[in-house]
Amino acid sequence: MTTTTGKRRGRRPALDPADRRRLAARIAKMVLVDRMEQKEILQQLLNSEPNLAHIDASTISRLYRFALDSGIVRVHIDENAPFKPPRVDHLERELMAAYGLQTAIVADMSGHSETLESSLADDRLHQALGQLCADYLDTIIRQNEIVALSSGRAVFYTCESLFNKHIYDKRNVRGVKVVSLNGNIAAEVWSMESPDARRAMDADISGSWLARAFPDAQLIRLSLPVAAKTPEMVSEWLSEGPGRWISPKVWEEKARQRALGTSTGIAAEDDVYVPTLALVGIGGVRPKSGHRFIVGLHEPMMGNLQPELGKMIDLIARYTNNGKPGFTCAVGDLCNRLFITLAARKHMSPTDLKELESYVQAINDRLLSVTIEQLMLVPKVVVVAGGATKFDAIYSVLEWQAMGWKQPIVHDLCTDRETAERLLQARRSSRRS
């Protein structure tokens, strides 16, 4: 009878249940996120945790399977999930030439009508634009950039997409400051995760997502309401605290110092800077739409804009419901600042136009937001906006001379294919007339 010599291999020590789940989660992240091979995972675990010297490749496989079976890793399949559409190069080149843009990004998607019945389709468009715009921002945000944001869905989805892109690997861009350009409504709008899901789209919310994409970004929350009760109160709100970040007087003084080269260069703790880059959306205030002024009409913070806001919506509704208004959007917004579109100026009667102007002026006088003139001081303004019903508003902003503005505001534009084609057609028509 032959006997074996030497020691028999003993059983490996059992892992504590808490350690087992922790290691399973860590291994799953290495496999699914870091795309590491089994040998690399084993080597990294042995280097970082010497007490795991007893594990081998088979243990890695078992723990990964445990992560899948126990719910540590969850699979979510969503056929309506946002996707990044291809870009239309020739339309981008034509837009840049037609409107003097520095950069144009055109998503190969058609614009959806923004109505209550098509909210998910319209939201999908905004998410797609956000993904393309996030890719672009990722290439232009530099060290010590001061990024300012407006409210809106497209801006929100841009910030969310950039955060998701760098959720595990923060961009190595330091010294970034993120600040809002307008006060909060606390209104929530449609989100395509489900018909019942809603998300706040205020600038302070978007800023919190964008700041987390960078390792040491400073987030400056305004924490202001959308409007004050009187124009006099606006000056009080903007004279101290976070409100100074959107104060026209402060911006003008900072811009003057920068032009004269008299800035001390020493940053005080409460110092305010003119943004070096602004990401803004263009909205269309239409009855029964997803615009934040509409869905947030009955929010407490919107009470300061009544009764003018309600009367303005009623006036617009009369034209919308008459069958042939001649325009899709009578009033647009840029950082919450309202403006009457060129199409509305052309098709509305003088009496109604004068009434609409009075409502817009009364609302703008009470808004806690940067002015259109302030945006002209920002070296780089990136606009992300699309959708068939916003065409008149987008076109009006690009036709800055016809609007009576001193200089162009938009440097870069991210929009959809249908809107781009209509913008080019409108430009050709205006040149022929």
417-432 and 89-99 helices cross at what angle (nearest 10)? Answer: 40
- Residues 149 and 208 sit within 8 Å (Cβ to Cβ): no
d(CA 92, CA 103): 8
Q: pLDDT tens across 110-162, in order?
A: 754 444 345 667 778 888 999 999 999 999 999 999 999 999 889 999 999 99
At 1 the pLDDT is 42
Tell me which amino acid residue 56 is. Answer: D
SS3 294: helix
- Residues 164 and 293 sit within 8 Å (Cβ to Cβ): no
SS3 188: strand
Residue intervals of the chain classified under CATH 3.40.50.1360 are: 89-432
Q: pLDDT tens across 409-419, in order?
A: 999 999 999 99
At 7 the pLDDT is 44
d(CA 353, CA 344): 8
**CB atoms near residue 322 (< 10 Å):** 9
At 5 the pLDDT is 47
At 190 the pLDDT is 45
- For the domain with range 89-432, which CATH number is right: 3.40.50.1360, 3.40.50.1110, 3.40.50.300, 3.30.1950.10? 3.40.50.1360
- pLDDT beneath 70: ranges in the chain: 1-13, 76-82, 111-120, 168-170, 187-200, 262-270, 290, 295-296, 321-325, 433
Q: What are phi and psi of 33, to 5 degrees?
A: -100, -50
Nearby residues of 187 by Cβ (< 8 Å), 6 or more positions away: 200, 201, 202, 292, 293, 295, 296, 299, 302
Per-residue buried b or exposed e for 139-154, using 16+ beta carbons within 10 Å of the residue's own CB: eebeeebbbbbbbbbb
Using the structure block, give the residue that is written with the tokens 């009434």.
Answer: 355
At 195 the pLDDT is 44
d(CA 259, CA 376): 14
